Structure 1
Amino acid sequence: MTDPYGIIDLAALKQPAASEGSAGGAGGTPSPHEVAVTEQGLEQLVADSQQIPTLMLVTSSRVAEGEQFLGSLRRAVDAQGGALRLAVVDADTQQRVAGALRIEQLPTLLLLILGQVQPIVQSVLPDEEVDNLISQVLELAKQQGLDTTGAGQGEQAAPEEEPMPPLIAEAYEAIEKGDLDAAVAAYEKQLSETPADAEAKAGLATVSLMRRTQGIDANAVREEAAQKPTDLAAQLLVADLDMLGGHVDDAFSRLLGHLRGADQETKAALRDRLLQLFEVAGPADPRVPAARKRLANFLY
């Protein structure tokens, strides 16, 4: 926790047409000291970290053992009686927040303190290690001059959230239920009504990615792609798996690499998939402009 990322790129979230929602992917009963992070709420959360240290978990319902990890964090945070806060980012519904936090792998646990974000771990921690982590966080907060007694923190209200558009809310609810077809339909309807809605575009791209990879055998797909390097469908699917696992550079590089010498039909398919993955990563991700430039060089 001594190698801080620094200040969160909040400016990236001030681009137009971003609607906010709750962190719908986190199941179970939220802690009374927990905040579901949204685009609107992130700036207030950063401001609050001047008074209260905040553990920020970026996760997804797709993360193995993710619910158990979240439950351990909730228990440990609750035990401190308000001395610190837990903030949960659902990477499936809050892609732009994850981009502003520069998330590369799920789950990622961060510490937000005095307006600065610091990486802790990019994996699930065993339950027995969580209490030790909390002790370290509180000791660091104490060294930074923060009140770690929890006094007065109980009345601190969570950031208020504006209501989201009904179709976006419908899409989030469908994702929570695992009904990806309904989520796609809701996002598509939202885009038919407001074509410039950035959140709907990103949401549609992400849910489409989830739907393409739903129920597949990842090992079998990767093995097939390795044995059939010219099989476009196999390469597209492996790129999807890379993206889903947070390996953004691998996903982009795989598809860009197949553009060299490809026929027009293949180039069109690769271009379309790359544009979808750019939406998933979000415009704030620094890897997107570089990949866009490479794509343009191959196409023109």
Structure 2
Amino acid sequence: MTDAYGVMDFSSLKKENSAAGTSQPLADEVSVSEQDLQGLIDSSQQQLTLLLVTSARVQGGASFVDAVRAAVGRHAGTIRLALVDADQQPRVAAALRVQSLPAAMLMMKGQIQPLFEGAVADDQLQSVMEQLAQLAAQEGMSVGEAPSDAPAAAQLPPELEHATTLLQNGDLAGAQKAFEDYLETHPGDPEAKRGAATTRLMERTREVDLQEGRRAAADAPEDLDAQLLGADLDLLGGHVDDAFGRILDRYAAADAETRDRLRERLLDLFDVVGADDERVGAARRRLARLMF
């Protein structure tokens, strides 16, 4: 994940590092695009879905996809697997508010709940699948015993639930207003700040051709607009360190006006990731050193 995004040669990626994995897809497995995300959310009313967001640049990512497939396959008919390639569908990853790759989420009854980030060991993976199968049984989505320790859905205030739903549905203007309205009465709320910043990120990249944006950033290292867009695309793909580094690498030698633009964009990306993320802390410390 920490490769220099702008100079990555995607044609050199080995087959075993494909975000899709090397095993055969499961019978009811789906690949998620921006166009069918809402349909997948709607269908989770009937079928519990494990949503896995990953990328070809995740070390060992393909092997982990295969491990997830094997674990989900043991509960065929109870758990559906949905895969999101963050490089091919960065706006989906952004709408899901992914911070690290791989990231697993539970989709159920039209709601999305984070499960874990980063690859987990096989025994942990099996435990998660057992709990999800039990949860499906509890909710009447399969036959089985009700669990005593199934994961509980995280609860957001209704206003933020509404704003998040608008974001996931692609209503960026509505989502932005909803997040900003909430911030007016709850200044500094981290979830609202993150949602508003994520919506701005998606708005900036709405009309961008991903490959052209990446190519422009690689071909024009001195073009500020191209580099700011490159940082946005890095973050959309879940490559947090690359996004921060792209901006910070240019900060030291920049003039005052350019520094202002770089800092403004960096702080916005900090809000997308979240203040409690250690990568944000490290980037803030580097920014402070460069400022003085």
2:249 corresponds to which residue? 257
Residues 105-158 of structure 1 show CA distances to partners (whole Å, capped at 9, x for unaligned) of 5x6589xxxx9987269xxxxxxxxxxxxxx879966xxxx89x9799542386
What is aligned with 1:29? Answer: 43
Q: Does the residue aligned with 1:229 lie in a helix, a strand or coil?
A: coil
Task: Measure how far apart 1:184 and its partner are.
Answer: 0.8
Q: Structure 1 residue 57 and structure 2 residue 51: aligned? A: yes
- Gaps spanning 5+ residues in structure 1: where? 1-22, 36-55, 61-68, 122-135
Determine the structure 1 residue equivalent to 2:76. 79
Once the 2 structures are TM-superposed, how far is the Cα of residue 296 of structure 1 from its aligned partner?
A: 0.8
Return the alpha-carbon distance in structure 2 between the equivalents of residues 216 and 169 of structure 1: 27
Which whole-Å CA distance do the structure 2 matches of 1:118 and 1:297 have between them? 30
Q: Distance between the aligned counterparts of 2:125 and 2:249, measured in 1?
A: 48
* 2:263 maps to 1:271: yes
Indicate if the aligned counterparts of 1:171 and 1:187 stay in contact, CA closer than 8 A: yes
Say which of 193, 198, 206 aligns to 1:206: 198
In structure 2, do the counterparts of structure 1 residues 74 and 119 end up closer, same or farther at CA, with 3 Å as the change threshold?
A: closer
Instruction: Kindly provide the amino acid, as one letter, of the partner of residue 186 in structure 1.
Output: A
Distance apart, 1:276 and its partner CA: 1.1
The Cα shift of 1:246 comes to: 0.8
Q: Say if 1:213 and 1:73 are closer, same or farther in 2 by CA, change over 3 A.
A: farther
- Matched position secondary structure for 1:171: helix
Residue 227 of structure 2 contacts residue 246 of structure 2 at CA under 8 Å; is this kept in 1?
yes
Q: 1:104 matched to which residue of 2?
A: 101
TM-score (norm 1): 0.57
Q: Which ranges of structure 2 fall in alignment gaps of 5 or more residues?
A: 1-36, 55-65, 85-91, 107-114, 138-142
Question: Compared with structure 1, are the counterparts of its residues 140 and 220 closer, same or farther at alpha carbon in structure 2 (3 Å cutoff)?
Answer: closer
Whether the 8 Å CA contact 2:72–2:80 is kept in 1: the answer is no
The count of corresponding residues between Structure 1 and Structure 2 is: 217
Matches of 2:284 and 2:273, distance apart in 1: 12
* Cα distance in 2 for residues equivalent to 1:74 and 1:139: 7
Aligned-pair Cα RMSD in Å: 4.5
